[in-house]
Structure 1
Amino acid sequence: MVKIGVLALQGAVSEHVRSIKVCGAEAIAVKNTSDFALVDGLILPGGESTAMRKLIDRFEMLAPLQQFAAAGKPMFGTCAGLILLAKNLVGNDFEHIGVLDVKVERNSFGRQVDSFETNLKIKDVAEDFTAVFIRAPHIVEVGETVDILATFDGRIIMARQGHLLGCSFHPELTGDHRITAYFIEMVRETLAKQVNL
């Protein structure tokens, strides 16, 4: 069975775990550096990116996260997770994990009270996915090898670069598990390639 980790430092961890299980994969809460070896792919959940970064540093996870990506293992960042994955951040001189070739701006859709839902068309995933936006970032720029999967109101909100996936919204907060299933399929494809090498 495919094993999907959820970085369990802060944020919507239990919701992602539930979605992974519904999709028929094994979910593992990643709480320390030794847990990375247990999983085939990793989800970085929504939450508060600054708080997450402090905890990543406290538990000495930054280098292992970067090594996980460098090894070609799939990673999926949602909302704050997208901020953590991005190579560039508007208004910041430094990145966090810095592996997804995009530039991200925080809080692009207003404050907590401005949270909303909207239906999206997502390339290769869904014609009508209900997305939940909570203090959501958006992608300002993408690198040449990045595939844009969804936009909203003229802004890029979901993108993929090979084994890396990021979105501005919270797919785990609905009963629609198609994006989780899409990521799990990315993990399966990566495992299949490794077997055939």
Structure 2
Amino acid sequence: MTPDLQQLVMDRLIELGTPGRPLSYRGAAARGRGFISHGTIGRIARGEHAGVLEEDTVIGLSLALGVPRALVEEAAGIQRERPLEPFVLPSRANRLTRRERAAVLGVVDAILAAADRTGACREVRPEYAAPSPAEENRAYGLVAYAPDGSGAISHDDAEAIRRYEEARAPSPDHVTGRTRRSSEPPP
């Protein structure tokens, strides 16, 4: 792993955490929406991750760290050789039968598998790009993806995520314009 990627991960974990306590690997993985595990984030942060980053790992790091995918790719030393616009078949391809369409998809899969084996980079669907801050405020939920599928999350990670959500979300009082007395419980 490149020192730049390791430094990016460490810097962002510190920035996303609380003063004196960086965001945990599990907390970052929860932000990665299932594309990356806490173990992979930890190996990258410690400089122990070896090999080429898979597409899901790049997506997961982008989401977990809240940075554009291009920044992760740059830090990892990934060079783009392919165009960034989506590939769309011409309308005449609509005349293909199901079997012919499957054959076309088979060729596409073979090309992409070969690119993965050689370490060639490929573009990712735009819906997996890092969310905007507004989208993250709206959609970010307390979700953890454990390898066993249990969704288990530590108390400390849950607390860090809760504090993050509270800091980013407008308060109900702000929305309603109502002033709450300190003795009144929150809604």
Give the TM-score taking structure 2 as reference length.
0.27
If each structure's helix is expressed as a fraction of its own residues, which one has the higher value? 2
TM-score of the aligned structures, taking structure 1 as reference length: 0.26
Question: More strand per residue: 1 or 2?
Answer: 1
**Of the two, which has the highest radius of gyration?**
2
User: Bigger relative contact order, structure 1 or 2, given CA contacts below 8 A and separation 6+?
Assistant: 2
